[in-house]
Structure 1
Amino acid sequence: MRADDGAAVLRALHVPGHPVVLPNVWDAASARVVADAGFPAVATGSAAVAGALGHQDGEAMPVAEMLAAVARVAGAVAVPVTADVERGYGLKPSELVERLLEAGAAGCNLEDSDPRTGELVDPGEQADFLAGVRAAAGDRLVVNARVDTYLKGGTSRAAALGRARRYLEAGADCVYPITLRAEDEIRALVEELGGAPVNILYVPGAPPLRRLAELGVARISFGSGVHRAAMAYVGDLVRGIRDGRDPY
Protein backbone atom coordinates (compact mmCIF):
# COMPACT_ATOMS: atom_id res chain seq x y z
CA MET A 1 0.00 0.00 0.00
CA ARG A 2 1.38 3.41 -0.99
CA ALA A 3 1.92 5.79 1.92
CA ASP A 4 -0.57 8.36 0.69
CA ASP A 5 -3.19 5.64 0.08
CA GLY A 6 -2.55 4.27 3.55
CA ALA A 7 -2.91 7.68 5.13
CA ALA A 8 -6.24 8.27 3.41
CA VAL A 9 -7.53 4.89 4.61
CA LEU A 10 -6.24 5.48 8.15
CA ARG A 11 -7.65 9.02 8.33
CA ALA A 12 -11.08 7.81 7.26
CA LEU A 13 -11.11 5.32 10.15
CA HIS A 14 -11.09 8.13 12.72
CA VAL A 15 -14.84 8.49 13.19
CA PRO A 16 -16.15 9.93 16.48
CA GLY A 17 -18.51 7.37 17.96
CA HIS A 18 -17.15 4.58 15.75
CA PRO A 19 -13.51 4.46 16.84
CA VAL A 20 -10.68 2.66 15.16
CA VAL A 21 -9.26 0.22 17.74
CA LEU A 22 -5.51 -0.31 17.69
CA PRO A 23 -3.93 -3.08 19.82
CA ASN A 24 -0.37 -1.75 19.56
CA VAL A 25 2.30 -4.10 18.19
CA TRP A 26 6.07 -4.40 18.57
CA ASP A 27 7.32 -6.46 15.61
CA ALA A 28 6.30 -8.04 12.32
CA ALA A 29 4.92 -11.16 13.99
CA SER A 30 2.61 -9.28 16.35
CA ALA A 31 1.56 -7.00 13.47
CA ARG A 32 0.51 -10.02 11.43
CA VAL A 33 -1.54 -11.34 14.36
CA VAL A 34 -3.41 -8.04 14.61
CA ALA A 35 -3.98 -7.74 10.86
CA ASP A 36 -5.03 -11.38 10.56
CA ALA A 37 -7.58 -10.80 13.34
CA GLY A 38 -9.29 -8.31 11.05
CA PHE A 39 -8.17 -4.96 12.46
CA PRO A 40 -8.13 -2.35 9.66
CA ALA A 41 -4.88 -0.70 10.76
CA VAL A 42 -1.80 -1.45 12.85
CA ALA A 43 -0.08 0.83 15.36
CA THR A 44 3.33 0.39 16.90
CA GLY A 45 3.97 1.31 20.53
CA SER A 46 7.30 2.91 21.37
CA ALA A 47 7.66 1.23 24.77
CA ALA A 48 6.77 -2.16 23.32
CA VAL A 49 9.17 -1.82 20.38
CA ALA A 50 11.93 -0.60 22.67
CA GLY A 51 11.39 -3.50 25.06
CA ALA A 52 11.41 -6.04 22.24
CA LEU A 53 14.74 -4.62 21.04
CA GLY A 54 16.34 -4.49 24.48
CA HIS A 55 16.04 -0.75 25.09
CA GLN A 56 14.34 1.44 27.64
CA ASP A 57 11.40 3.46 26.40
CA GLY A 58 12.25 6.97 25.27
CA GLU A 59 14.49 8.67 22.78
CA ALA A 60 17.62 6.96 24.11
CA MET A 61 16.75 4.23 21.63
CA PRO A 62 18.51 4.86 18.29
CA VAL A 63 16.07 6.31 15.79
CA ALA A 64 17.43 4.03 13.08
CA GLU A 65 16.42 0.98 15.10
CA MET A 66 12.94 2.33 15.73
CA LEU A 67 12.35 3.17 12.08
CA ALA A 68 13.76 -0.19 10.98
CA ALA A 69 11.22 -1.85 13.25
CA VAL A 70 8.45 0.27 11.75
CA ALA A 71 9.59 -0.72 8.26
CA ARG A 72 9.47 -4.42 9.17
CA VAL A 73 5.95 -4.00 10.54
CA ALA A 74 4.80 -2.08 7.46
CA GLY A 75 6.31 -4.71 5.20
CA ALA A 76 4.52 -7.51 7.01
CA VAL A 77 0.92 -6.31 6.66
CA ALA A 78 -1.38 -4.97 3.96
CA VAL A 79 -3.13 -2.43 6.20
CA PRO A 80 -1.99 1.11 7.14
CA VAL A 81 0.64 1.37 9.86
CA THR A 82 0.94 4.27 12.26
CA ALA A 83 4.19 4.62 14.20
CA ASP A 84 4.78 5.87 17.73
CA VAL A 85 7.94 7.95 17.37
CA GLU A 86 8.21 9.78 20.72
CA ARG A 87 8.82 13.47 19.92
CA GLY A 88 10.64 12.78 16.69
CA TYR A 89 14.09 11.85 18.06
CA GLY A 90 15.39 15.36 17.54
CA LEU A 91 14.86 15.20 13.78
CA LYS A 92 13.68 18.25 11.91
CA PRO A 93 10.09 17.90 10.67
CA SER A 94 11.09 17.42 7.05
CA GLU A 95 13.61 14.69 7.88
CA LEU A 96 11.23 12.97 10.26
CA VAL A 97 8.51 12.89 7.61
CA GLU A 98 10.90 11.65 4.93
CA ARG A 99 12.13 8.81 7.12
CA LEU A 100 8.64 7.80 8.24
CA LEU A 101 7.45 7.64 4.65
CA GLU A 102 10.53 5.65 3.65
CA ALA A 103 9.66 3.19 6.42
CA GLY A 104 6.16 2.78 5.00
CA ALA A 105 4.30 4.55 7.79
CA ALA A 106 0.89 6.09 7.10
CA GLY A 107 0.71 7.93 10.41
CA CYS A 108 2.63 8.84 13.54
CA ASN A 109 2.21 9.69 17.22
CA LEU A 110 4.12 12.73 18.44
CA GLU A 111 4.21 13.60 22.13
CA ASP A 112 4.61 17.00 23.77
CA SER A 113 7.03 16.04 26.53
CA ASP A 114 10.70 16.96 26.30
CA PRO A 115 12.62 13.64 26.15
CA ARG A 116 15.62 15.20 27.90
CA THR A 117 13.81 16.64 30.91
CA GLY A 118 10.48 14.85 30.94
CA GLU A 119 8.75 18.22 31.21
CA LEU A 120 5.96 19.45 28.98
CA VAL A 121 7.12 21.35 25.92
CA ASP A 122 5.78 24.87 25.50
CA PRO A 123 2.50 24.45 23.57
CA GLY A 124 3.45 27.10 21.01
CA GLU A 125 6.74 25.35 20.33
CA GLN A 126 4.97 22.01 19.95
CA ALA A 127 2.35 23.54 17.67
CA ASP A 128 5.12 24.92 15.46
CA PHE A 129 6.75 21.49 15.34
CA LEU A 130 3.47 19.83 14.37
CA ALA A 131 2.84 22.49 11.74
CA GLY A 132 6.26 21.71 10.27
CA VAL A 133 5.41 18.01 10.15
CA ARG A 134 2.10 18.75 8.45
CA ALA A 135 3.73 21.07 5.91
CA ALA A 136 6.34 18.43 5.04
CA ALA A 137 3.88 15.52 4.96
CA GLY A 138 0.89 17.11 3.28
CA ASP A 139 -1.85 14.46 3.44
CA ARG A 140 0.61 11.56 3.42
CA LEU A 141 0.68 11.07 7.22
CA VAL A 142 -2.04 10.95 9.85
CA VAL A 143 -0.65 12.98 12.75
CA ASN A 144 -1.81 11.96 16.22
CA ALA A 145 -0.73 14.69 18.66
CA ARG A 146 -0.24 13.45 22.19
CA VAL A 147 -1.26 15.75 25.02
CA ASP A 148 0.72 14.85 28.13
CA THR A 149 -0.91 17.12 30.70
CA TYR A 150 -2.73 14.26 32.47
CA LEU A 151 0.36 12.04 32.29
CA LYS A 152 2.31 14.72 34.14
CA GLY A 153 -0.23 14.84 36.95
CA GLY A 154 -2.26 17.77 35.71
CA THR A 155 -5.99 17.79 36.32
CA SER A 156 -6.93 20.94 34.41
CA ARG A 157 -9.20 20.27 31.47
CA ALA A 158 -8.55 23.82 30.32
CA ALA A 159 -4.82 23.09 29.98
CA ALA A 160 -5.46 19.93 27.99
CA LEU A 161 -8.04 21.65 25.80
CA GLY A 162 -5.73 24.56 25.13
CA ARG A 163 -2.97 22.28 23.91
CA ALA A 164 -5.35 20.07 21.94
CA ARG A 165 -6.87 23.03 20.10
CA ARG A 166 -3.49 24.47 19.21
CA TYR A 167 -2.30 21.12 17.89
CA LEU A 168 -5.42 20.67 15.77
CA GLU A 169 -5.03 24.18 14.39
CA ALA A 170 -1.40 23.31 13.54
CA GLY A 171 -2.58 20.42 11.39
CA ALA A 172 -2.89 17.40 13.69
CA ASP A 173 -5.57 14.93 12.59
CA CYS A 174 -6.25 13.60 16.07
CA VAL A 175 -5.34 14.50 19.66
CA TYR A 176 -4.33 12.00 22.33
CA PRO A 177 -4.76 13.02 25.99
CA ILE A 178 -2.79 10.06 27.26
CA THR A 179 -3.79 8.47 30.61
CA LEU A 180 -7.13 10.30 30.67
CA ARG A 181 -9.59 7.71 31.92
CA ALA A 182 -12.39 9.48 33.82
CA GLU A 183 -15.62 9.10 31.86
CA ASP A 184 -16.94 12.59 32.65
CA GLU A 185 -13.65 14.17 31.61
CA ILE A 186 -13.49 12.19 28.37
CA ARG A 187 -17.05 13.19 27.50
CA ALA A 188 -16.40 16.86 28.27
CA LEU A 189 -13.15 16.95 26.30
CA VAL A 190 -14.73 15.32 23.26
CA GLU A 191 -17.69 17.70 23.38
CA GLU A 192 -15.60 20.81 23.85
CA LEU A 193 -13.38 19.88 20.92
CA GLY A 194 -16.46 19.94 18.73
CA GLY A 195 -16.16 16.58 17.06
CA ALA A 196 -12.41 16.62 16.40
CA PRO A 197 -10.98 13.09 16.61
CA VAL A 198 -9.83 12.10 20.10
CA ASN A 199 -7.64 9.09 20.93
CA ILE A 200 -8.04 7.43 24.33
CA LEU A 201 -5.56 4.94 25.78
CA TYR A 202 -7.34 1.84 27.03
CA VAL A 203 -5.95 1.03 30.46
CA PRO A 204 -7.41 -0.56 33.61
CA GLY A 205 -9.94 1.86 35.01
CA ALA A 206 -10.88 3.34 31.64
CA PRO A 207 -14.45 2.96 30.37
CA PRO A 208 -15.13 -0.20 28.34
CA LEU A 209 -14.56 -0.04 24.60
CA ARG A 210 -18.27 0.21 23.82
CA ARG A 211 -18.69 3.05 26.30
CA LEU A 212 -15.74 4.93 24.83
CA ALA A 213 -17.50 4.76 21.48
CA GLU A 214 -20.67 6.12 23.07
CA LEU A 215 -18.64 9.01 24.49
CA GLY A 216 -17.63 10.02 20.97
CA VAL A 217 -14.04 8.78 20.96
CA ALA A 218 -12.57 8.30 17.46
CA ARG A 219 -9.54 6.15 18.24
CA ILE A 220 -8.67 3.67 21.00
CA SER A 221 -5.13 2.42 21.50
CA PHE A 222 -3.47 0.10 23.98
CA GLY A 223 0.06 1.47 24.27
CA SER A 224 2.35 -1.17 25.70
CA GLY A 225 -0.54 -3.08 27.31
CA VAL A 226 -0.72 -5.95 24.81
CA HIS A 227 3.05 -6.40 24.90
CA ARG A 228 3.04 -6.52 28.72
CA ALA A 229 0.22 -9.06 28.71
CA ALA A 230 2.04 -11.18 26.12
CA MET A 231 5.27 -11.12 28.10
CA ALA A 232 3.38 -12.03 31.28
CA TYR A 233 1.93 -15.03 29.48
CA VAL A 234 5.37 -16.06 28.23
CA GLY A 235 6.71 -15.71 31.76
CA ASP A 236 4.01 -18.06 33.10
CA LEU A 237 4.65 -20.47 30.25
CA VAL A 238 8.40 -20.77 30.76
CA ARG A 239 8.05 -21.03 34.55
CA GLY A 240 5.71 -23.94 33.94
CA ILE A 241 8.30 -25.55 31.69
CA ARG A 242 10.93 -25.00 34.37
CA ASP A 243 8.67 -26.70 36.90
CA GLY A 244 8.00 -29.65 34.64
CA ARG A 245 4.44 -28.78 33.60
CA ASP A 246 3.19 -29.54 30.09
CA PRO A 247 3.16 -26.07 28.45
CA TYR A 248 0.54 -27.01 25.84
Structure 2
Amino acid sequence: MSTEPSRTALASRLRALHVPGHPLVLPNVWDAASARAVADAGFPAVATGSAAVAPTLGYEDQEDTPADEMCAAVARIARAVPVPVTADMERGYGLPPAELAQRLAATGAVGCNLEDTDHRTGLLADPGEQAAYIAALRAAAPELVINARTDCFLRGGAGPAERLADAAGRARAYLEAGADCVYPIGALDEATVRAVVEAVDGRPVNVLSRPGGPSPARLAELGVARISFGHQLHQLVQRYFAALLATVARGDSPFPEG
Protein backbone atom coordinates (compact mmCIF):
# COMPACT_ATOMS: atom_id res chain seq x y z
CA MET A 1 0.00 0.00 0.00
CA SER A 2 1.43 3.41 -1.02
CA THR A 3 2.46 5.77 1.77
CA GLU A 4 2.68 8.77 -0.56
CA PRO A 5 0.14 11.51 0.19
CA SER A 6 -2.84 11.68 -2.12
CA ARG A 7 -3.53 14.63 -4.40
CA THR A 8 -6.36 15.58 -2.08
CA ALA A 9 -4.02 15.61 0.92
CA LEU A 10 -1.36 17.59 -0.95
CA ALA A 11 -3.90 20.14 -2.17
CA SER A 12 -5.35 20.53 1.32
CA ARG A 13 -1.86 21.00 2.72
CA LEU A 14 -1.02 23.66 0.13
CA ARG A 15 -4.28 25.54 0.68
CA ALA A 16 -3.81 25.51 4.46
CA LEU A 17 -0.39 27.14 4.09
CA HIS A 18 -1.98 30.36 2.78
CA VAL A 19 -2.38 32.25 6.06
CA PRO A 20 -2.57 36.06 6.04
CA GLY A 21 0.16 37.37 8.31
CA HIS A 22 2.03 34.06 8.26
CA PRO A 23 2.88 33.79 4.57
CA LEU A 24 3.88 30.78 2.58
CA VAL A 25 7.33 31.62 1.17
CA LEU A 26 7.98 30.15 -2.26
CA PRO A 27 11.48 30.43 -3.78
CA ASN A 28 10.39 29.66 -7.36
CA VAL A 29 12.14 26.75 -9.08
CA TRP A 30 12.96 25.86 -12.67
CA ASP A 31 13.81 22.15 -12.71
CA ALA A 32 13.86 19.01 -10.59
CA ALA A 33 17.25 19.80 -9.04
CA SER A 34 16.22 23.26 -7.88
CA ALA A 35 12.93 21.81 -6.60
CA ARG A 36 14.82 19.25 -4.52
CA ALA A 37 17.03 22.01 -3.13
CA VAL A 38 13.98 23.99 -2.02
CA ALA A 39 12.34 20.95 -0.41
CA ASP A 40 15.61 19.89 1.25
CA ALA A 41 15.96 23.40 2.70
CA GLY A 42 12.70 22.82 4.57
CA PHE A 43 10.23 24.83 2.52
CA PRO A 44 6.79 23.20 2.78
CA ALA A 45 5.83 23.63 -0.88
CA VAL A 46 7.42 24.16 -4.28
CA ALA A 47 6.34 26.66 -6.94
CA THR A 48 7.52 26.87 -10.51
CA GLY A 49 8.04 30.18 -12.29
CA SER A 50 7.33 30.24 -16.02
CA ALA A 51 9.99 32.90 -16.64
CA ALA A 52 12.55 30.60 -15.01
CA VAL A 53 11.35 27.32 -16.54
CA ALA A 54 10.98 28.62 -20.11
CA PRO A 55 14.67 29.42 -20.74
CA THR A 56 15.74 26.04 -19.36
CA LEU A 57 13.59 24.53 -22.13
CA GLY A 58 14.92 26.89 -24.80
CA TYR A 59 11.95 29.26 -24.95
CA GLU A 60 10.98 32.79 -23.99
CA ASP A 61 8.43 33.54 -21.28
CA GLN A 62 4.89 34.72 -22.09
CA GLU A 63 3.52 31.44 -23.47
CA ASP A 64 6.28 30.81 -26.00
CA THR A 65 6.70 27.35 -24.42
CA PRO A 66 4.41 24.65 -25.86
CA ALA A 67 1.93 23.37 -23.29
CA ASP A 68 3.23 19.81 -23.66
CA GLU A 69 6.77 20.84 -22.77
CA MET A 70 5.74 23.02 -19.83
CA CYS A 71 3.56 20.23 -18.43
CA ALA A 72 6.40 17.72 -18.85
CA ALA A 73 8.73 20.03 -16.94
CA VAL A 74 6.18 20.44 -14.14
CA ALA A 75 5.73 16.66 -13.98
CA ARG A 76 9.48 16.13 -13.52
CA ILE A 77 9.49 18.67 -10.71
CA ALA A 78 6.47 17.13 -8.98
CA ARG A 79 8.03 13.65 -9.15
CA ALA A 80 11.20 14.94 -7.54
CA VAL A 81 9.74 16.26 -4.28
CA PRO A 82 7.41 14.99 -1.53
CA VAL A 83 5.81 18.39 -0.92
CA PRO A 84 2.91 20.07 -2.75
CA VAL A 85 3.78 21.64 -6.10
CA THR A 86 2.06 24.63 -7.65
CA ALA A 87 2.75 25.39 -11.31
CA ASP A 88 2.91 28.72 -13.11
CA MET A 89 0.69 28.08 -16.13
CA GLU A 90 0.71 31.68 -17.41
CA ARG A 91 -2.77 32.20 -18.96
CA GLY A 92 -3.37 28.51 -19.61
CA TYR A 93 -1.43 28.13 -22.88
CA GLY A 94 -4.63 28.39 -24.86
CA LEU A 95 -6.12 25.28 -23.27
CA PRO A 96 -9.81 25.05 -22.37
CA PRO A 97 -10.29 25.01 -18.59
CA ALA A 98 -11.27 21.33 -18.45
CA GLU A 99 -8.20 20.32 -20.45
CA LEU A 100 -5.93 22.48 -18.31
CA ALA A 101 -7.35 20.76 -15.23
CA GLN A 102 -6.64 17.34 -16.75
CA ARG A 103 -3.11 18.31 -17.77
CA LEU A 104 -2.32 19.65 -14.31
CA ALA A 105 -3.66 16.52 -12.64
CA ALA A 106 -1.43 14.41 -14.87
CA THR A 107 1.66 16.38 -13.83
CA GLY A 108 1.08 15.82 -10.13
CA ALA A 109 0.82 19.55 -9.38
CA VAL A 110 -1.97 20.51 -6.99
CA GLY A 111 -1.95 24.25 -7.56
CA CYS A 112 -1.48 26.73 -10.38
CA ASN A 113 -0.96 30.37 -11.21
CA LEU A 114 -3.24 31.93 -13.81
CA GLU A 115 -2.53 35.44 -15.06
CA ASP A 116 -4.80 37.86 -16.87
CA THR A 117 -2.52 39.07 -19.66
CA ASP A 118 -3.63 37.98 -23.13
CA HIS A 119 -0.26 37.16 -24.67
CA ARG A 120 -1.69 37.28 -28.18
CA THR A 121 -2.26 41.02 -27.79
CA GLY A 122 -0.05 41.93 -24.85
CA LEU A 123 -3.07 43.54 -23.20
CA LEU A 124 -5.03 42.76 -20.06
CA ALA A 125 -7.84 40.28 -20.61
CA ASP A 126 -11.40 41.32 -19.96
CA PRO A 127 -11.96 40.74 -16.22
CA GLY A 128 -15.31 39.04 -16.81
CA GLU A 129 -13.79 36.61 -19.29
CA GLN A 130 -10.91 35.85 -16.93
CA ALA A 131 -13.30 35.29 -14.02
CA ALA A 132 -15.36 32.94 -16.18
CA TYR A 133 -12.21 30.95 -17.05
CA ILE A 134 -11.31 30.68 -13.37
CA ALA A 135 -14.85 29.55 -12.52
CA ALA A 136 -14.72 26.88 -15.22
CA LEU A 137 -11.33 25.68 -14.01
CA ARG A 138 -12.66 25.53 -10.45
CA ALA A 139 -15.64 23.46 -11.63
CA ALA A 140 -13.30 21.07 -13.46
CA ALA A 141 -10.80 20.83 -10.59
CA PRO A 142 -12.48 21.34 -7.20
CA GLU A 143 -9.32 20.57 -5.22
CA LEU A 144 -6.89 22.68 -7.27
CA VAL A 145 -5.34 25.63 -5.41
CA ILE A 146 -5.76 28.53 -7.83
CA ASN A 147 -3.56 31.61 -7.50
CA ALA A 148 -5.11 34.27 -9.73
CA ARG A 149 -2.56 36.79 -10.92
CA THR A 150 -3.56 40.22 -12.12
CA ASP A 151 -1.13 42.25 -14.19
CA CYS A 152 -2.75 45.67 -13.71
CA PHE A 153 0.40 47.13 -12.17
CA LEU A 154 2.49 45.85 -15.09
CA ARG A 155 0.21 46.60 -18.03
CA GLY A 156 -2.44 49.02 -16.84
CA GLY A 157 -2.27 52.23 -18.81
CA ALA A 158 -3.93 54.55 -16.29
CA GLY A 159 -2.45 56.30 -13.29
CA PRO A 160 -1.59 54.63 -9.96
CA ALA A 161 -5.05 55.17 -8.43
CA GLU A 162 -6.81 53.70 -11.46
CA ARG A 163 -4.45 50.72 -11.58
CA LEU A 164 -5.06 50.03 -7.90
CA ALA A 165 -8.83 50.24 -8.35
CA ASP A 166 -8.67 47.89 -11.35
CA ALA A 167 -6.44 45.43 -9.47
CA ALA A 168 -8.75 45.44 -6.45
CA GLY A 169 -11.83 44.89 -8.59
CA ARG A 170 -10.21 42.07 -10.52
CA ALA A 171 -8.95 40.48 -7.31
CA ARG A 172 -12.44 40.43 -5.82
CA ALA A 173 -13.93 39.07 -9.04
CA TYR A 174 -11.36 36.29 -9.31
CA LEU A 175 -11.85 35.27 -5.68
CA GLU A 176 -15.60 35.21 -6.18
CA ALA A 177 -15.08 33.03 -9.25
CA GLY A 178 -13.25 30.44 -7.17
CA ALA A 179 -9.61 31.50 -6.82
CA ASP A 180 -7.97 30.70 -3.48
CA CYS A 181 -5.44 33.52 -3.59
CA VAL A 182 -4.84 36.65 -5.68
CA TYR A 183 -1.49 37.85 -6.96
CA PRO A 184 -1.25 41.56 -7.86
CA ILE A 185 2.21 41.26 -9.38
CA GLY A 186 3.97 44.60 -9.50
CA ALA A 187 2.44 45.82 -6.24
CA LEU A 188 5.75 46.78 -4.69
CA ASP A 189 5.34 49.54 -2.12
CA GLU A 190 3.81 49.04 1.30
CA ALA A 191 0.84 51.32 0.72
CA THR A 192 -0.22 49.43 -2.41
CA VAL A 193 0.22 46.03 -0.79
CA ARG A 194 -1.80 47.13 2.23
CA ALA A 195 -4.55 48.53 0.01
CA VAL A 196 -4.92 45.28 -1.93
CA VAL A 197 -4.95 43.21 1.28
CA GLU A 198 -7.69 45.44 2.68
CA ALA A 199 -9.66 45.35 -0.58
CA VAL A 200 -10.11 41.57 -0.40
CA ASP A 201 -11.20 41.54 3.25
CA GLY A 202 -8.54 39.22 4.58
CA ARG A 203 -8.52 36.69 1.74
CA PRO A 204 -5.05 35.41 0.76
CA VAL A 205 -2.83 37.78 -1.22
CA ASN A 206 0.43 36.80 -2.96
CA VAL A 207 3.19 39.42 -3.37
CA LEU A 208 6.37 39.23 -5.43
CA SER A 209 9.46 39.93 -3.32
CA ARG A 210 11.72 42.34 -5.21
CA PRO A 211 15.02 44.14 -4.54
CA GLY A 212 14.24 47.36 -2.72
CA GLY A 213 10.75 46.23 -1.77
CA PRO A 214 9.41 45.27 1.64
CA SER A 215 11.19 42.34 3.28
CA PRO A 216 9.36 39.04 3.72
CA ALA A 217 9.02 39.86 7.42
CA ARG A 218 7.45 43.22 6.60
CA LEU A 219 5.12 41.65 4.03
CA ALA A 220 3.93 39.32 6.78
CA GLU A 221 3.16 42.34 8.96
CA LEU A 222 1.14 43.80 6.08
CA GLY A 223 -1.08 40.70 6.04
CA VAL A 224 0.31 38.94 2.98
CA ALA A 225 -0.39 35.19 2.78
CA ARG A 226 2.09 34.13 0.08
CA ILE A 227 5.46 35.44 -1.10
CA SER A 228 6.98 34.55 -4.47
CA PHE A 229 10.36 35.31 -6.02
CA GLY A 230 9.51 34.81 -9.69
CA HIS A 231 12.53 34.17 -11.91
CA GLN A 232 14.89 36.27 -9.78
CA LEU A 233 16.63 33.35 -8.03
CA HIS A 234 17.17 31.68 -11.40
CA GLN A 235 18.72 34.93 -12.65
CA LEU A 236 21.08 35.02 -9.66
CA VAL A 237 22.16 31.43 -10.29
CA GLN A 238 22.77 32.19 -13.97
CA ARG A 239 24.87 35.23 -13.07
CA TYR A 240 26.94 33.16 -10.66
CA PHE A 241 27.45 30.52 -13.36
CA ALA A 242 28.52 33.23 -15.82
CA ALA A 243 31.06 34.48 -13.28
CA LEU A 244 32.45 30.95 -12.89
CA LEU A 245 32.75 30.64 -16.66
CA ALA A 246 34.61 33.95 -16.83
CA THR A 247 37.02 32.63 -14.21
CA VAL A 248 37.65 29.46 -16.21
CA ALA A 249 38.03 31.46 -19.43
CA ARG A 250 40.84 33.46 -17.79
CA GLY A 251 42.66 30.22 -17.08
CA ASP A 252 41.92 30.30 -13.36
CA SER A 253 40.31 27.64 -11.20
CA PRO A 254 36.65 28.15 -10.29
CA PHE A 255 37.10 26.16 -7.08
CA PRO A 256 37.63 27.84 -3.70
CA GLU A 257 41.09 27.43 -2.24
CA GLY A 258 41.60 25.43 0.90
Bin for the TM-score computed over the shorter chain: over 0.9
5+ residue gaps, structure 1: none
* CA distance in structure 1 between the aligned counterparts of 2:248 and 2:95, rounded to whole angstroms: 45
Q: Which moved more, 1:79-88 or 1:53-62?
A: 53-62
Alignment of 1:120-199 (within 5 A): 120-139=124-143, 141-153=144-156, 154=158, 155=160, 156=162, 157-199=164-206
Q: Does 1:245 align with 2:233?
A: no
* CA distance in structure 2 between the aligned counterparts of 1:8 and 1:121, rounded to whole angstroms: 30
Q: Give the aligned residue type for 1:72.
A: R
Alignment of 1:64-103 (within 5 A): 64-103=68-107
Q: Give the aligned residue type for 1:144.
A: N
Q: Which residue of the partner structure matches residue 25 of structure 2?
A: 21
Q: Which residue of the partner structure matches residue 215 of structure 2?
A: 208
SS of 1:21's partner is: strand
Q: Which residue of the partner structure matches residue 12 of structure 1?
A: 16
* CA distance in structure 2 between the aligned counterparts of 1:65 and 1:146, rounded to whole angstroms: 22
Q: Which moved more, 1:177-186 or 1:1-10?
A: 1-10
TM-score by length of 2: 0.94
Q: Give the aligned residue type for 1:192.
A: A
SS of 1:203's partner is: coil
Q: Does 1:53 align with 2:60?
A: no
Encode CA deviations 1:8-32: one digit per residue, 9 max, x unaligned.
0000000000000000000000000
Q: Larger Cα Rg: Structure 1 or Structure 2?
A: 2
SS of 1:234's partner is: helix
Q: Which residue of the partner structure matches residue 230 of structure 1?
A: 237
* CA distance in structure 2 between the aligned counterparts of 1:72 and 1:3, rounded to whole angstroms: 16
Q: Does 1:3 align with 2:10?
A: no
Equivalent pairs counted in the alignment come to: 247
Q: Which moved more, 1:145-154 or 1:79-88?
A: 145-154
Q: Does 1:105 align with 2:109?
A: yes
TM-score by length of 1: 0.98
Compute the displacement of 1:64 (Å).
0.4
Q: Percent identity?
A: 62
Encode CA deviations 1:177-202: one digit per residue, 9 max, x unaligned.
00110101111211221100000001
SS of 2:155's partner is: coil
Compute the displacement of 1:2 (Å).
2.3
Q: Give the aligned residue type for 1:115.
A: H
Encode CA deviations 1:20-51: one digit per residue, 9 max, x unaligned.
00000000000000000000000000011001
Aligned CA-pair RMSD: 0.9
SS of 1:150's partner is: helix
Compute the displacement of 1:80 (Å).
0.2
5+ residue gaps, structure 2: none
* CA distance in structure 2 between the aligned counterparts of 1:243 and 1:228, rounded to whole angstroms: 23
